[in-house]
């Protein structure tokens, strides 16, 4: 009769333990596999955030113009230069810092009439970027019409900007995300489901418009025509629900 040695018993024990381990591993893997195949319940919501803010920087663009015939282009350039110097002197007298003024090189455009090429239209553009929004507005809206008697002001345009726009955008994205969570919680009220972790989050484009505007664009909007502005953004969020 054969007797089982100590090493043989150890081998049997190891084999049994290995078999049990493989069975348990298979069960665990199977449970994880089934769980991974189980469809996850989710809820997708769109959060919004909107607020009014006031610009703190203004850009004032001015264009002077002169028209000349075919033979007096040089004289037209001199007149345009004199108008520019008169305008710069006017701005200096009104307290505008010369560092805020940018002068663009003049341009000449051909113009045509019934007899063909009849002459040139000369244009001189400058722009002022300033934090003194009220001062520039006063000059553009009240004082400039008086100056226009002596100068050919072809264009006068005000554009408004906000120097801390990047930080404002970050705050708005956070508010829109929080609004998305609040909407999801509201939708689950009265049910036996609870809101789980955030699965996906996608930011919409910014819409910067005139106050209380309903205008939107898939590419986003950045309106610069008014000092008081409205900024809005959306956040598209998907949450797990349990």
Q: What is the CATH number of the domain that holds 152?
A: 3.30.70
Does residue 168 share a domain with residue 141? no
Average pLDDT, the chain: 87
Question: In which band, very low, low, confident or very high, does the pLDDT at 85 lie, cut at 50, 70 and 90?
Answer: very high
**Could you say which of 110, 128, 161 is where a domain stops?**
161
Question: In this structure, is residue 151 part of a structural domain?
Answer: yes
Output 231 or 15, whichever has higher pLDDT.
231
Whether residue 87 contacts residue 64, with contact meaning beta carbons closer than 8 Å, is answered with yes
Mean pLDDT of 155-165: 95
Does residue 204 share a domain with residue 146? no
Does residue 67 share a domain with residue 145? yes
Does residue 195 share a domain with residue 228? yes
Burial of residue 77, with CB atoms counted within 10 A of its CB: 0-12 exposed, 13-18 middle, 19 or more buried: middle
pLDDT for the residue 30 = 52
The number of distinct structural domains making up the chain is: 2
Question: In which band, very low, low, confident or very high, does the pLDDT at 5 lie, cut at 50, 70 and 90?
Answer: low
**What's the CA gap between 13 and 64, in Å, rounded?**
100
**What's the CA gap between 30 and 23, in Å, rounded?**
10
Residue 21 has pLDDT above 70, yes or no: no
Percent of the residues in the chain that have a pLDDT greater than 90, as a whole number: 70
Does residue 150 share a domain with residue 72? yes
Question: In which band, very low, low, confident or very high, does the pLDDT at 33 lie, cut at 50, 70 and 90?
Answer: very low
Question: In this structure, is residue 76 part of a structural domain?
Answer: yes
Question: In this structure, is residue 26 part of a structural domain?
Answer: no
Residue 137 has pLDDT above 90, yes or no: yes
Q: For the chain, how far is it from start to end, CA to CA, in angstroms?
A: 64
Question: In which band, very low, low, confident or very high, does the pLDDT at 148 lie, cut at 50, 70 and 90?
Answer: low
Buried b (16+ CB within 10 A) or exposed e, 138-154: ebbeeebeebeeebbbe
Domain residue limits at 140: 57-161
């Amino acid at each position: 009769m054969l007797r089982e040695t100590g090493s043989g018993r150890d081998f049997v024990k190891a084999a049994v333990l290995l078999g049990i381990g493989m069975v348990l591993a298979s069960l665990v893997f199977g449970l994880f596999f089934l769980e991974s195949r189980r469809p996850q319940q989710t809820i997708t919501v769109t959060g919004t955030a909107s607020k009014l803010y006031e610009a703190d920087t203004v850009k004032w663009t001015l264009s002077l113009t002169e028209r000349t015939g075919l033979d007096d282009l040089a004289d037209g350039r001199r007149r345009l230069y004199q108008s520019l110097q008169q305008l710069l002197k006017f701005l200096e007298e009104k307290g505008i810092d010369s560092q805020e003024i940018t002068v663009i090189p003049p341009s000449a455009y051909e113009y045509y009439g019934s007899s063909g090429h009849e002459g040139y239209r000369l244009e001189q553009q400058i722009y002022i970027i300033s934090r003194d929004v009220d001062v520039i507005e006063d000059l553009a809206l009240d004082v400039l019409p008086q100056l226009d008697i002596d100068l050919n002001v072809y264009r006068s345009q005000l554009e408004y900007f906000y120097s801390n726009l990047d930080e404002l955008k970050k705050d708005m994205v956070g508010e829109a995300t929080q609004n998305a969570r609040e909407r999801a919680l509201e939708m689950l009220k009265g049910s036996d489901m609870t809101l789980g972790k955030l699965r996906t989050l996608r930011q919409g484009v910014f819409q910067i418009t005139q106050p209380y505007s309903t205008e939107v664009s898939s590419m986003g909007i950045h309106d610069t025509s008014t000092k008081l502005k409205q900024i809005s953004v959306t956040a598209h969020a998907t949450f797990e629900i349990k």
